[in-house]
Structure 1
Amino acid sequence: MPVLDEADIRKVLVVVAHPDDIDFGGAGTIARLTEAGAEVVYCLVTDGDAGGFDRLVDNGGMAALRRAEQTAAAKCVGVGDLRFLGYQDGMVEQTLGLRRDITRVIRQVRPDLVVTSSPDRNYERLGPSHPDHRAVGGATLDAVYPDARNPYAFPELLTDEGLEAWTVREVWLSGGMAANHYVDVTSTVDRKIAALRAHESQTSHIPDLDSMIKGWLSANAAAAGLPEGSYAEAFQRVATA
């Protein structure tokens, strides 16, 4: 069973494939955590250069635009530390190299909690199951266990970079079919929507973004047994012990 009490979460690392992934999946939760005093770091595996709807913007221009959008979105929920790994959007694979790069960030940040995408395909709603999401989720779980805690894994991280092993206490997975933890984000839903609006290249075409997001979050709140009018984000909570 999960062992991490939310009141004890002081440092959080979010690892996702693309700019906007965390804002769709968990920005309301991140806003709650930062309001409570937690330090949150974002690790973006790609720059999102294959996303967007304006094909007049080439991939290089799109990457810079989406990095700027994610930086603005992060500020909406109290996050200022963003790290981009530079993998190519749409072509992420669950490789040993990706595991090493995520392990490096885990050892640098030394978080209590890691938030990432589910590595499992969602057959109820296909959108969260982008191949990059699943590859990043799987590589992150492998980095959490066994790589980041094992001093013999990627020894160059210790010998060349001085990064000691670190054990993450818990992982929250977003976008899967096995939610077992709901966070009440009623008080931060407006900050979540503001973060999503910062991703103008991805959300400006949505005719009623507020209603779409609140509809999803209302369904989560109902599943969690929260009062009518509440909003919630859903995760699969995974203990690592």
Structure 2
Amino acid sequence: MLELSEISRVLAVLAHPDDVDFGSAGTISSWTAAGVQVTYLIVTDGDAGGFDDRVTRAEMAELRRKEQRAAAEAVGVTDVRFLGYPDGRLEPGFDLRRDIARVIRQVRPDRVLTHSPERNHQRIAPSHPDHRVVGGATLDAVYPDARNPYAFPELRGEGLEAWVAREVWMSGGPTPDHYVDITDHFDRKLAALKAHATQTAHMQDGLEAMLRGWLGANAAAAGFGEGRLAESYQIVNTA
């Protein structure tokens, strides 16, 4: 695993608005606090989310973009990008790989954070089909697409030269091998999630308790001790 001192830029590639905050807002808060530049790339606008039939799908997409930008600010992220793919209908393919590889070449990150492409039978929520598609496409975009100057030659035509992202952190998978203690950043994670009002307003009374239970279990698995909170990842060396 790369040391934090070796990291200047991180690109987080997630399927929907709020995915990055449920999975990684505490970790990202710790990175931005250390001076790391973090960019969010959200593949869909989350237009299939929410619980209010009075809100059109176009209105929902705009609401969720606004919520994601507000959530990003809560953890020190100002660069938030959207690809605009349809929520709930993602499929593996060259277009998605190319679009992610394009942003990798633009941002030139040392580390990429994304979903695990593996189904987690212990916790089904992280295994949403869109999550698994984005995780797989992101790994393919990291290796081999972004680093191969002859993959997607149109990207070189845009002035985007090949780039090697040295490490990928995957969240939500069945076999985590690294834990980040986010106890000191929990308040910022909670604020980020509350910014996603279309997704979390219905559980505001229980949101903090739910998070503390889940993150506390991660911390216990990591051996961090009583009262600590942690987010979990599987790390892939892609140097």
Range class of TM-score, shorter chain: over 0.9
1:72 counterpart residue number: 70
CA RMSD of aligned residues (A): 0.7
Partners of 2:75 and 2:164 lie apart in 1 by: 26
2:189 counterpart residue number: 192
Partner of 2:82, secondary structure, is: strand
User: By how many angstroms is 1:6 displaced?
Assistant: 2.3
- Unaligned runs of 5+ residues in structure 1 are none
> Once the two structures are superposed, what CA deviation does each residue of 1:178-234 show, in whole Å capped at 9, x if it has no partner?
100100101000100000000000001113100101111100100111021111100
- Partner of residue 180 from structure 2, selected from 174, 180, 183: 183
User: By how many angstroms is 1:154 displaced?
Assistant: 0.3
The answer to whether structure 1 residue 203 and structure 2 residue 200 are counterparts is yes
The answer to whether structure 1 residue 152 and structure 2 residue 114 are counterparts is no
TM-score, normalised with respect to structure 2:
0.98
User: By how many angstroms is 1:55 displaced?
Assistant: 1.5
Give percent identity, aligned residues only: 65
Partners of 2:195 and 2:82 lie apart in 1 by: 18
1:27 counterpart residue number: 25
Counterpart of 1:36, as a letter, is A
How is 1:206-221 mapped onto 2 (pairs within 5 angstroms)?
Answer: 206=203, 207-221=205-219
> Once the two structures are superposed, what CA deviation does each residue of 1:142-198 show, in whole Å capped at 9, x if it has no partner?
000000000000011002x10000000100000001100100101000100000000
How is 1:83-122 mapped onto 2 (pairs within 5 angstroms)?
Answer: 83-122=81-120
- Unaligned runs of 5+ residues in structure 2 are none
- Partner of residue 13 from structure 1, selected from 3, 11, 14: 11
Partners of 2:167 and 2:93 lie apart in 1 by: 22
User: By how many angstroms is 1:7 displaced?
Assistant: 2.5
Q: How many residues align?
A: 238
TM-score, normalised with respect to structure 1:
0.98
Deviant stretches of 4+, over 4 Å: none
Partners of 2:221 and 2:151 lie apart in 1 by: 40
